[in-house]
């Protein structure tokens, strides 16, 4: 008997739950109600790439996610819920996987969305090896259309992360359009769009706005609003002014904590809070002395005032993960036994003495344009000083920061993961020997083996034990020093309601099924 992960679930639109609004906000405080003719969203960037298999900026994703379906979506707790797919499962030996599709979705030129489109999309990424998905489907041998509504994936090895990865991350594109390009990776897809989401792109005025019209026969359900307009602003501050003036209905970008605090008492604004699927952290270069000594890394972990960072720099819009890479955002995996490192300068000094290290001086790189990290980096420096550790801050222009990160050219790396949605898959990328984003250059055979065990498991329940043990090694060896999980604030006019949030800054309430469900309040 095959092991079914999710079977015959109801429409995703009906299953997602609303995130709590900030206390004190009420739609009854709004002025005249909005009408369903138009929802205007503020963004701070133009679309760079209309090819959903390639483009990955926030604005790219917000727009193309409304045009191209994925097999699955995610509910507020991080669980996968149906979108184009209705059910999905692995074979008993884990070497094949099957997905069944809806039969009521059409491309905008009238052709049905079928298994051939799914096979083409995943096979193209596999063949041309580009984008995030390529690194997540390495177990794929071959995809085939069993029928117009069923796809079978043959796998080279059992991989319980495969369906999550291909379902959530792969946009499905129209085969009959994209196959005409000599290289799909180089296909601009910048005109005459053929799409199958809840809205279709109809007009572009670069630097100004992007207009999208409702798809009346959208399979999962007709959107309430007729038109979505993305307006381009230079920064979040001007977006806030526009929201307060009634020029826009929703700010796409996450609000800086200080701005969210200011907007709490605005009667025209609702703040919707979204959990992060990533975390902010410090990583120590384990290939550099004395950072190759776990006692030195533990001394650094005990020289950080975590509570002060969350309360002062993040204004309380952050949670502890108890120094674990298994965060509260993914309750299927979280380990309640994990304990956060305590800010203890004296214990830090003791550990350094045991390691024979004195006058420790290190540099720490960070993106100077990141407003959160720019606030807490000096706090890390100052708390470490109490333990006798000197940290020299290197706030860098983003491209320089990324270049040093990719070259592993740092003592301490300060940053944040955006989306870590599947621990067995993500920990493989971040902590396995040679992992694509293994910035700390961790190489631990026992950790590698545990992550491999978790990836072979065909359900979260079976992956839980080995991935929790892996997370405990990461904690104890300080292969990653997790500072906090941010609580994102998204602001919209009290004239609107019905948004369906998903965790992460990228998805928030701008995901396609959320915007299809949005409606005027009252």
pLDDT above 70 (res 71): yes
pLDDT above 80 (res 1): no
The predicted pLDDT at position 513 comes to: 86
The predicted pLDDT at position 135 comes to: 82
The predicted pLDDT at position 4 comes to: 32
The predicted pLDDT at position 9 comes to: 29
Rounded Cα gap, residues 115 and 83, in angstroms: 14
The predicted pLDDT at position 32 comes to: 57
Q: What is the mean pLDDT of the chain?
A: 91
Note the pLDDT tens digit of each residue in 400-424. 999 999 999 999 999 999 889 999 9
Note the pLDDT tens digit of each residue in 349-362. 999 999 999 999 99
Question: What percentage of residues in the chain have a pLDDT greater than 70?
Answer: 93
List the beta bridge partners of residue 227. 38, 213
Q: Which residues contact 217 (CB under 8 A, 6 or more apart)?
A: 106
pLDDT above 90 (res 12): no
Mean pLDDT of 338-355: 98
Rounded Cα gap, residues 67 and 229, in angstroms: 14
The predicted pLDDT at position 34 comes to: 66
pLDDT above 70 (res 299): yes
- Residue 216 — pLDDT band, cuts 50, 70, 90? very high
pLDDT above 80 (res 136): yes
- Residue 22 — pLDDT band, cuts 50, 70, 90? very low
Residue 415 CB-density burial (10 A; 0-12 exposed, 13-18 middle, 19+ buried): buried
The predicted pLDDT at position 33 comes to: 57
Q: Comparing 47-61, 142-156, 352-366, 434-448, which segment has the lowest mean pLDDT?
A: 47-61
The predicted pLDDT at position 16 comes to: 30
Rounded Cα gap, residues 502 and 111, in angstroms: 30
What does residue 103 show for φ and ψ, rounded to 5 degrees? Answer: -115, 15
Rounded Cα gap, residues 212 and 210, in angstroms: 7
* 8 A C-beta contact, residue 40 and residue 229: yes
- Residue 28 — pLDDT band, cuts 50, 70, 90? very low
Rounded Cα gap, residues 115 and 135, in angstroms: 22
């Amino acid at each position: 008997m095959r092991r079914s992960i999710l079977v015959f679930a109801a429409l995703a639109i009906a299953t997602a739950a609303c995130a709590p609004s900030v206390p004190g906000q009420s739609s009854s405080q709004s002025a005249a109600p909005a009408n369903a003719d138009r929802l205007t969203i503020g963004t701070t960037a133009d679309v760079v790439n209309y090819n959903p298999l390639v483009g990955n900026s926030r604005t790219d994703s917000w727009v193309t996610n409304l045009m191209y379906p994925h097999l699955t979506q995610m509910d507020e707790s991080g669980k996968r819920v149906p979108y184009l797919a209705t059910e999905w499962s692995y074979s008993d030996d884990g070497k094949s996987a099957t997905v069944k599709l809806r039969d009521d979705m059409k491309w905008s030129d009238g052709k049905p969305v079928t298994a051939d489109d799914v096979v083409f999309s995943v096979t193209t990424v596999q063949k041309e090896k580009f984008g995030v998905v390529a690194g997540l489907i390495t177990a794929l041998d071959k995809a085939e259309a069993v029928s117009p509504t069923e796809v079978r994936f043959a796998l080279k090895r059992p991989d319980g992360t495969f369906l999550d990865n291909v379902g959530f991350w792969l946009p499905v594109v129209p085969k009959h359009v994209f196959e005409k390009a000599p290289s799909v990776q180089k296909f601009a897809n910048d005109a005459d769009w053929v799409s199958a989401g809840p809205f279709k792109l109809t007009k572009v005025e670069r630097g100004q706005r992007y207009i999208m019209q409702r798809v009346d026969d959208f399979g999962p359900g007709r959107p309430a609003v007729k038109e979505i307009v993305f307006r381009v602003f230079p920064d979040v501050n001007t977006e806030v002014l526009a929201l307060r003036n009634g020029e826009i209905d929703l700010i796409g970008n996450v609000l800086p904590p200080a701005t969210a605090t200011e907007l709490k008492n605005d009667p025209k604004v609702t703040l919707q809070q979204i959990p992060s699927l990533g975390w902010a952290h410090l990583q120590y270069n384990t290939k550099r002395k004395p950072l190759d000594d776990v006692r030195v890394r533990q001394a650094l972990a005990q020289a950080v005032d975590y509570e002060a960072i969350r309360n002062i720099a993040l204004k309380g819009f952050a949670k502890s993960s108890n120094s674990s890479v298994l965060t509260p955002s993914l309750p299927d995996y979280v380990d309640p036994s994990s304990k956060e490192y305590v800010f203890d300068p004296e214990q830090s000094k003791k550990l350094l003495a045991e390691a024979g290290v004195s006058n420790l001086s290190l540099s720490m790189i960070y993106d100077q344009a990141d407003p959160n990290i720019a606030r807490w980096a000096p706090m890390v420096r100052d708390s470490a000083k109490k333990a006798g550790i000197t940290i020299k801050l290197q706030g860098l222009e983003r491209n320089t920061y990324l270049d040093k990160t990719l070259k592993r050219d740092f003592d301490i790396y300060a940053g944040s993961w955006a989306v870590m949605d599947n621990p067995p898959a993500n920990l493989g990328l971040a902590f396995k020997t040679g992992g694509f984003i293994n910035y700390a250059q961790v190489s631990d055979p026992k950790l590698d083996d545990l992550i491999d065990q978790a990836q072979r498991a065909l359900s979260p329940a079976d992956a839980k034990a080995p991935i929790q043990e892996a997370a405990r090694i990461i904690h104890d060896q300080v292969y990653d020093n997790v500072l906090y999980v941010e609580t994102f604030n998204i602001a919209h006019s009290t004239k609107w309601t019905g948004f369906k949030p998903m965790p992460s800054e990228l998805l928030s309430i701008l995901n396609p099924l959320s915007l299809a469900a949005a409606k005027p309040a009252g």
